[in-house]
Amino acid sequence: MDKNKIYLGINWQCNSSAALMINGKIMGCISEERFSRVKNDERYPKKAIDWLLKEFKVKTNEIDKVCYISKVWSPTFIMFRHYTNFNITDYVSEQKKYWYKKIYEKKNISLLNIFKNKIDFNQYPGRRYWIKIYNSLKNIDSHISNKNLISYGKQIRCEVASKHLKINKNKICFVDHSSGHAAWAFYSNKDKNKHKYLVLTLDAMGDFINYSINKLSKKNEFERIVIGGNSIIARLYRYTTLIMGFKPDEHEYKLMGMAPYAKKKYFSNLLEKFRNFQIIKDLKFKNKKMPKDLYFDVKNFFEAERFDNICGALQKYTEELTSEWVTNISKRLKFNNIMLVGGVAMNVKNNLQLSKLKKIKNIFVPLSPDDSSLSMGAIYYYNSIINKNISYPIKNAYLGPKINFNFNVNKLAKNYSIKTKNINSIASHLLSEGKIIGRVVGRAEFGARALGNRSILADPSNIESVKKINETIKNRDFWMPFAASVLERKANKYFYLNDNILNYEYMTKCLDTTIEGQKKLKSAVHPYDKTCRPQIIKKNSNKDYEDLIFKFGKITNIYALLNTSFNLHGYPIVNDIKETLYIFKNSNLEALIINNEILIKK
């Protein structure tokens, strides 16, 4: 019998994650944040790796290859926990103390010295190790843009993985950032005709590339048609987010959500300024009058501009650039099926506009198209592009751990009625009465989008649901809508579908709603532009969740549910029974489904 081919993928950066592949199949993938309970945790994903190896009974000496994503990497942001420990004041301070001096005064500045008080020396693999790294970098510019650090970045990652897994360093490899994105989009896709798609990557930067056009074949041939590193889209969005007082690399979606409220006649002047930054020429992004930097110069553009108008102009410029790029690609390369992946693909409003392009038949955006999924992209690339082995698409998004209900039932019975039969019938009636319920069933979905297994659910036609959920759990900004889970059989009643219904499995795209959809999905529809970010549930893809929605539909004639992630504001999605019960007890959730039981507050 042939030996199993076992690959471990590691994404060690913002929202670090780990993935395990056995014989071409992704067995599991999870972010470190789910175990550490620190949102977007950028530390080495030791707990995530340990869970994967334990869950799938893999010994470290059985691992054939450890595949890190990104060849270009620096430990600096990891050391002072840039994504999790920085607040808005820190990000602004970084602009003034580091970037201004570097760009405008041409000074060589040490980021580690500026933020020495932020350095977490105690993170894995330990204080002594990180003091050694700090001493080697403290007097130089250790930002990731310093090309002299490429080999050192690989050395550090090899040392840490080798120490943790007790493996030889020759078992460790590094996969190019944008290639990992492309491999993730292509190989995770279940479409049998996916070789007829072009794969586009578009993000802020990774290995000095931030956009690419790629063609992958049935024979696992990988052709890079175009690559470039000067696209402004993601970086302009990032720094505008900071200028608006929000956290960059996390809160961009808030600007996207505000954009529909703006009126074009009020943001047209600002839009013209954006248009002078960069244009599309053929298949590439071409600079016109680019600002010297995207924080200080752009901040001056915004003087006396309203928040909603800035958001409107930014979103419109994003849509114009990407639409022209995709249109040119389609015309020039004769493709009408597109996959889009990378940080920009998180912009669901932009994805909607791309779906409406006349030249485009299908646009597929994979599960978690940002960097968090790159642990899977790295092993897909290594397995199929490097080794020419068969890679299988993911069956669904449920790649994480189960939560076992191991509490003392007698103690819980004092405060809750506990039922073990007809759970979906009970839950559907509660939902139809306006109750808010939690659902924690089976394996967790990967990524930030709740897809039914770690969800808070409500009647989507009841606008009071939004207020109730926000009061004690989510604290969402007033202009941000929730999402909806909708049965495939009713999707065309609620939405104007622009392409293949399978492209709406992971909540990565928006849709315009019909009059019926606006009425029945009221609390999950954007209040102004009437769009919805749906999870369209294909028949038999999640049978129990599908059954719950169907039973709710039989009562209400609404075959959908409001769906938002099961977590407290500012924390990752729940990952253990203790936190699940804590949120249930201390919120206005009125019932909780845990696997084969439902708890109802007395």
Q: What is the pLDDT of residue 407?
A: 72
* CA-based R_g, the chain, Å: 24
Q: What is the pLDDT of residue 224?
A: 96
* Residue 478 pLDDT grade (very low, low, confident, very high; cuts 50, 70, 90): confident
For the chain, percent of residues with pLDDT exceeding 70: 100
Evaluate whether 53 touches 37 at the Cβ level (below 8 Å): no
* Residue 477 pLDDT grade (very low, low, confident, very high; cuts 50, 70, 90): confident
Residues in the chain: 602
pTM above 0.85, yes or no: yes
Angle between helices 127-137 and 150-165 (to 10 degrees): 170
Query: How high does pLDDT run on average in the chain?
Result: 96
- Looking at residue 12, its amino acid is W
Task: Calculate the CA dihedral of residues 565, 566, 570, 571 and round it to 10 degrees.
Answer: -120
pLDDT at 17 over 90: yes
pLDDT of 417-446, one tens digit each?
A: 999 999 999 999 999 999 999 999 999 999
Q: What is the pLDDT of residue 474?
A: 81
pLDDT at 576 over 80: yes
Q: What is the pLDDT of residue 64?
A: 98
Q: What is the pLDDT of residue 258?
A: 97
DSSP code string of 444-483: PBSSSS--SSEEEEE-TT-THHHHHHIIIII---TT---E
| CA nearest neighbour of 67 among 163, 158, 164, 195 | 158
pLDDT of 178-231, one tens digit each?
A: 999 999 999 999 999 999 999 999 999 999 999 999 999 888 999 999 999 999
Evaluate whether 287 touches 231 at the Cβ level (below 8 Å): no
For the chain, percent of residues with pLDDT exceeding 90: 93
Chain centroid to Cα 29, Å, comes to: 13
Output the CA–CA distances (angstroms, integers) from residue 249 to 15, 18, 288, 307, 375, in the order listed: 10, 20, 26, 19, 18
Sheet holding 511-513, edge to edge: 495-496, 511-513, 531-532
Q: What is the pLDDT of residue 122?
A: 98
- Mean per-residue pLDDT for 153-158? 98
Q: In the block, which residue shows the tokens 């003392």?
A: 408
Q: What is the pLDDT of residue 405?
A: 80
| CA nearest neighbour of 240 among 226, 229, 251 | 251
- Tell the burial category of 50 from Cβ atoms under 10 Å away from its Cβ (0-12, 13-18, 19+): middle
The separation between the first and the last C-alpha atoms of the chain, rounded to the nearest angstrom, is 57
pLDDT at 511 over 60: yes
* Residue 472 pLDDT grade (very low, low, confident, very high; cuts 50, 70, 90): confident
